[in-house]
Amino acid sequence: MTIQNLNELLTTHAKDHNQEYTRLFHGRGNFYDNFKELTVDAIDKVLYVALFAPREDEAELIVMLRDFFKQHTFEALVFQRRFLKGAPSELLEGTLPEKCYAVEDGLKYHINFMNNQNIGFFPDMKIGRQYVREHAKAKKVLNLFSYTCPFSVAAIAGGARSVVNVDMAKGALTTGRENHRLNDLDTRSAQFMPYNILKSWARIKKAGPYDIIIIDPPSFQKGSFAATSDYEKIIKRLDQLAAPECTVLSTLNAPELGTSFVKDLFKENAPEFHYVERLENLESFPTDNEETSLKNLIFKRDIS
């Protein structure tokens, strides 16, 4: 695949873009030769490009992106070098709106393009949020590793009775509150706990039991979480947190760990939770191996 081929593919996918968050190009699934380290998103009026590894032809790539930007109705072009320390973002063209939002299924989420590394929203989790929204009516929801709380917004929009959001990043939870207000959702239905999950089980349990539990951790976060050793600790606590007919959405985005990793943890540590299905990933996130891509697994408890 050449830069010219990439330009043609972006042009084709841009035809389908409206206000909703659209991934125009996803190279991270190893589906496209030569561009495995590149993603390109259309986020309302912003063209957002992330490069995860250095390229010898970066200058040529940027020339193409500038030309593509000028041929469409975007207001800003942001280029992020994720492989550099601090993952700096650079505004290459245009002017960023004073406030930027990702729009998904009619809901809005605050975006910070100049934030370190992550912009505040993970678009590949759309299918998971849709599932929660469709099943949340009148349910008590626990949202572990809530980050900026998109799952909570989706759950309350779907009629959830209450949502408990837990994340040790206070700044992310502050944005989470703002995301609820942005969508005119009553924050009295949501709690925001700025705790280390692995050290706060008593506080989390107190607000339960929960009808839906979302486990959406980073695969690795230095000093706080490693999926290989810490995911098991969460699964072992489910029996203390879950209602009799609880549904668990268990996610994992570690290429080196397949679906069997999570299934085995449930079988060994929470056998009353039965595996139901894996949610299909979005077509706009193609991969050459589903086992290395995002895993959204549904488990259900039935001890009635």
- Per-residue pLDDT, averaged over 103-129, amounts to 93
- Per-residue pLDDT, averaged over 172-178, amounts to 96
- Per-residue pLDDT, averaged over 39-68, amounts to 96
Q: Is the pLDDT of residue 15 over 90?
A: no
Position 302 scores a pLDDT of 79
- Per-residue pLDDT, averaged over 4-16, amounts to 92
Q: Specify the residue for token string 């002017």.
A: 95
Indicate the pLDDT class of residue 65, thresholds 50, 70 and 90. very high
Position 41 scores a pLDDT of 97
Q: Can you list the pairs that 88-97 forms with residues at least 24 positions away whose Cβ atoms lie under 8 Å?
A: 89/113, 89/114, 89/115, 92/62, 92/65, 92/66, 93/66, 93/69, 94/69, 96/46, 97/44, 97/45, 97/46
Q: Is the pLDDT of residue 224 over 90?
A: no
Q: Rounded CA gap, 253 and 44, in Å? A: 25
- Per-residue pLDDT, averaged over 174-184, amounts to 97
Percent of the chain residues past pLDDT 70, beyond the cut: 99
Q: Which of 32-36, 62-66, 108-112 has the lowest mean pLDDT?
A: 32-36
- Per-residue pLDDT, averaged over 218-236, amounts to 86
Q: Rounded CA gap, 251 and 170, in Å? A: 22
**All domains in the chain, ordered by first residue:** 3-111 (3.30.750.80), 123-301 (3.40.50.150)
Q: Is the pLDDT of residue 154 over 90?
A: yes
Q: Rounded CA gap, 41 and 24, in Å? A: 5
- Per-residue pLDDT, averaged over 265-284, amounts to 96
Q: Is the pLDDT of residue 149 over 70?
A: yes
Indicate the pLDDT class of residue 18, thresholds 50, 70 and 90. confident
Q: Specify the residue for token string 């010898």.
A: 56
Position 117 scores a pLDDT of 79
Tell me, yes or no, if the pTM score tops 0.75.
Answer: yes
Under 8 Å between Cβ of 25 and 10: yes
Q: What is the pLDDT of residues 260-274, one digit of tens each?
A: 999 999 999 999 999
Q: Of 237, 239, 240, 217, whose CA–CA distance to 227 is shortest?
A: 217
| Averaged pLDDT score across all residues of the chain | 94
Distances, alpha carbon 141 to alpha carbons 66, 254, 265, 279, in Å: 44, 25, 22, 19
Q: Is the pLDDT of residue 304 over 70?
A: no
Position 116 scores a pLDDT of 72
Q: Of 214, 216, 165, whose CA–CA distance to 194 is shortest?
A: 165
Q: Rounded CA gap, 41 and 17, in Å? A: 10
Q: Is the pLDDT of residue 169 over 90?
A: yes
